[in-house]
Amino acid sequence: MSENRYLTFALGKGRLASKTMELLEEIGITCEEMKDKSSRKLIFVNEELKLKFFLAKGPDVPTYVEYGAADIGVVGKDTIMEENRRVYEVLDLGYGKCRMCVCGPKSAKELLKHHEMIRVASKYPNIAKDYFYNKKHQTVDIIKLNGSVELGPIVGLADVIVDIVETGSTLKENGLEVLEEICPLSARMIVNQVSMQMEPERIKKLILDLRSHL
Ligand code: PRP
């Protein structure tokens, strides 16, 4: 494909984007424009390498990549699972490690054993649905929340939650615990399916460089 085409990256805003830029820098891909923290720019360019970068809300990253607005995305496995977009997941970047778990008070453990009809609060209703319906074959009532999900069992909104556990301190400080582990999570690189056909050399080189560096 033409050497003049930009390869565009969509990065999940925040710590994930900073970690990704650090990693890319280690394999010789930089973007000086992005280092100016006071900048309000949304899109950053490296003219020499013909690369563009933009920062997006995590759940929007797979959307940009599926529609080809970005060729490549970096986002958490939790978001990839929840959004379930048609993209290729090509690389586990190894950082942002945590676990998707069913959590609640110790007393709720019994409710998970006997296929009881329980209420599950989560920021990840699709992951919760898939886990309870398809893996555990337990019919549950799923309640979507947008954050501070640990409140659910504490205030009596839900019996358990499906949420990310990193250090476990949020659970501990709120008298909750991990009841079941759903899957491990980390940052992943995703690629638009058409871009993979159109720019195989550039994208495969990037994946290989990252893989051998990691
Ligand atoms: C995440 C997650 C847990 C917490 C887990 O929340 O939803 O609440 O981090 O981390 P820990 O195991 O290290 O305590 P986040 O900070 O993203 O905010 P949110 O609750 O608004 O989603």
Give the Cβ contact number of residue 201 at 10 Å: 8
Check if 168 has its Cβ closer than 6 Å to any atom of ligand 1.
Answer: yes
- 166-195 per-position pLDDT tens digit: 999 999 999 999 999 999 999 999 999 999
2 contacts 198 by C-beta, under 8 angstroms: no
Per-residue pLDDT for 3 more than 60?
no
Per-residue pLDDT for 100 more than 70?
yes
Atom of ligand 1 nearest to the CA of 123: 22
Check if 170 has its Cβ closer than 6 Å to any atom of ligand 1.
Answer: yes
**CA-based end-to-end distance of the chain:** 27
| Average pLDDT rounded to a whole number, residues 72-91 | 98
Among 12-26, 31-45, 141-155, the minimum mean pLDDT is found in 31-45
**Nearest by Cα to 143 from 157, 127, 163:** 157
Cα–Cα distance, 81 to 184 (Å, whole number): 12
Cα–Cα distance, 101 to 183 (Å, whole number): 7
| The pLDDT value given to residue 147 | 94
**Nearest by Cα to 9 from 56, 48, 41:** 56
CA of residue 158 to ligand 1 center, whole Å = 17
Check if 59 has its Cβ closer than 6 Å to any atom of ligand 1.
Answer: no
Check if 163 has its Cβ closer than 6 Å to any atom of ligand 1.
Answer: yes
pLDDT above 70 coverage of the chain, percent: 99
| The pLDDT value given to residue 211 | 95
CA of residue 184 to ligand 1 center, whole Å = 15
pLDDT above 90 coverage of the chain, percent: 89
> Residues 25, 30, 35, 41: is their CA dihedral positive or negative?
negative
| The pLDDT value given to residue 84 | 97
* Residue nearest atom 20 of ligand 1, based on CA coordinates: 148
| Average pLDDT rounded to a whole number, residues 62-72 | 98
Angle, CA 3 vertex, CA 88 and CA 92 arms, to 5°: 25
Atom of ligand 1 nearest to the CA of 98: 12
| The pLDDT value given to residue 197 | 96
CA of residue 21 to ligand 1 center, whole Å = 23
> pLDDT averaged over the chain?
95
Q: What is the pTM of this model?
A: 0.93
